[in-house]
Structure formats: C-alpha cells, structure tokens
A and B are shown apart, each in its own frame.
Chain A
Amino acid sequence: EVQLVQSGAEVKKPGESLKISCKVSGYSFTNYWIGWVRQMPGKGLEWMGIIYPRDSDIRYSPSFQGQVTISADKSITTAYLQWNSLRASDTAMYYCAKQAPCSDEICPFDYWGQGTLVTVSS
C-alpha cells in the first residue's frame, strides 16, 4: 500500500527556520518524482516543485524558486520542504504528493500525504 506520511503541525515565529518531512512507503521511492503543494487558508492549490529522489534533480515553480528548498534522502525514503526564514504569509497547509507514472518529467499526482499545517505568527 502506497503511503506518504507527513510530519506534524508546526507553529513558528517570523524569521525562524523550518524543515517538514514526508516519509514514503509502499513503492520504489527512487523511481517517481515527488512534489510539494501549498494550500493557503480557504484558497486553492499551488504547485511548488518536484524532486526526483534517485539523483535529487529538482524543478521549482517560478513562484517558489528561492523561497523554499526541496530535498530528499533516499536512504530513508523521505522528502523534505525547508524554509530558512519564515514569513506570516507562509502560513498554509503543505502537501507532499507522488507523481503518477507517465512518460514526462511533470505528471499528475496520484497519491498524497495527509498535509502538514504550518502556522507562522509572532
């Protein structure tokens, strides 16, 4: 059974750093791109970027390039999303999601984590 289990909710202050995780099981972690999606309160989904765990090749959305860092540790089948300096506007639910098999680099997401709520407030 494919599972993506994300780390728990976080409450942080502006300027703090944060790294959230997405532990994967039930499929070959290194064979599929895995991505991150933001959902701000009451809003739609935003595609942030994807990583190919086999070689850590990464594609960022222009909107998130330089704002976050996506990484992966294939030894423990875990993907990460990291901020160096959080802002209040980073308050959102963050989902990791596995890309479906397809013939291209960017594909739809067929399995999703349960989401990690990040709250940034002074």
Chain B
Amino acid sequence: EIVLTQSPGTLSLSPGERATLSCRASQSVSGIYFAWYQQKPGQAPRLLVYGASNRATGIPDRFSGSGSGTDFTLTISRLEPEDFAVYHCHQYGRSGTFGQGTKVEIK
C-alpha cells in the first residue's frame, strides 16, 4: 500500500500569505492519479485538484497543484479567510490512500 506523508502537520499563516503544502509518497505515483481535497470542520471533503494539477469545477485559480513521482505540492497563492481548513492529498493509482492531512490555521 502506498503511504502518503503530508507536511507540515499545521501551517500557521495570515490572510494574504502564500501557503505551500507538501505530500510525499512512499512509492512513485503517476501524476494523473493524484488529488487534493479541502475539508472544513463538520463538513465533507471537497475536491480541489485532480491529476496533480487540474483544478476541479468551481475552484478558484489561487489554488494550484504540482508535482510528480513521489513529491506533490498544493499551493494557495494568497490565503482568503475561507481557505483556513484541513487539506488532504490522495493517490488513486494503486488502490487508494490519503495523507494524514495538513491544517492551515490563522496566525
């Protein structure tokens, strides 16, 4: 089973700042099988990015995904108040696994 490790566990930033979230896989994952989700308290996750770099429908362009092989990144160019949440990475190339999540909190 592919293990995904997200870092950092918590990211403390201010609105307007840039957020860079990392996800490392224990084995190489084809980029077309990689996604990111946002989850707010008490809510189900929401798909942000799929295929490593494709934004899902309705997702603002301040969210961007990149990466390949074992290292993937989600970047939020300028944090808006509604972006403070937990972010999960997901590989779906072999079976499916998620990372443990990165919390983006207000500094």
Asked if B95 and A106 sit within 8 Å, CB to CB, the answer is: yes
Q: With A104-B33, A106-B96 in contact, do A45 and B88 touch (Cβ < 8 Å)?
A: yes
Chain A residues bordering chain B, tally (CB within 8 A): 26
Which B residues touch A113, using CB under 8 A? 44
Given the known inter-chain contacts A44-B88, A108-B90, please indicate yes or no for A95 contacting B44, CB distance below 8 A.
Answer: yes
Contacts of A62 in B (CB 8 A): 1, 95
Contact flags B77-98 to A (C-beta < 8 A → 1, else 0): 0000000000010101101111
Nearest Cβ on chain A to B7's Cβ, whole angstroms = 13
Kindly identify, within residues 62 to 100 of chain A, every residue whose CB is under 8 Å from any CB belonging to chain B: 62-63, 95, 97, 100
A61→B90 CA distance, assembly (Å):
14
- A45 with B45: CB separation less than 8 A: yes
- B50 near A47: Cβ-Cβ < 8 Å: no
CB-based contact B33/A35 at 8 Å: no
For chain B, the bracket of interface size reads 20 to 34
In contact, B47 and A110 (Cβ under 8 angstroms): yes
Q: Which residue of B lies closest to A99 (CB)?
A: B92
Q: Which among A62, A107, A113 has the greatest number of chain B C-beta atoms within 10 A?
A: A107
Which residues in B have their C-beta under 8 angstroms from that of A35? 96
| Known A44-B101, A47-B96, A61-B95: A108·B47 in contact at CB below 8 Å | yes
Q: Does B75 contact A (CB under 8 A)?
A: no
Kindly list chain B residues whose C-beta atoms are within 8 Å of the C-beta of A104.
33, 92
- Could you list 30 A-B pairs, sorted by A, with CB under 8 Å? A37-B45, A44-B99, A44-B100, A44-B101, A45-B39, A45-B45, A45-B88, A45-B98, A45-B101, A46-B97, A46-B98, A47-B90, A47-B95, A47-B96, A50-B96, A61-B1, A61-B96, A61-B97, A104-B33, A106-B92, A106-B93, A108-B50, A108-B92, A109-B47, A109-B90, A110-B56, A112-B44, A112-B45, A112-B46, A114-B44
| CB-CB nearest 4 A-B residue pairs | A47-B96, A112-B44, A44-B100, A108-B35
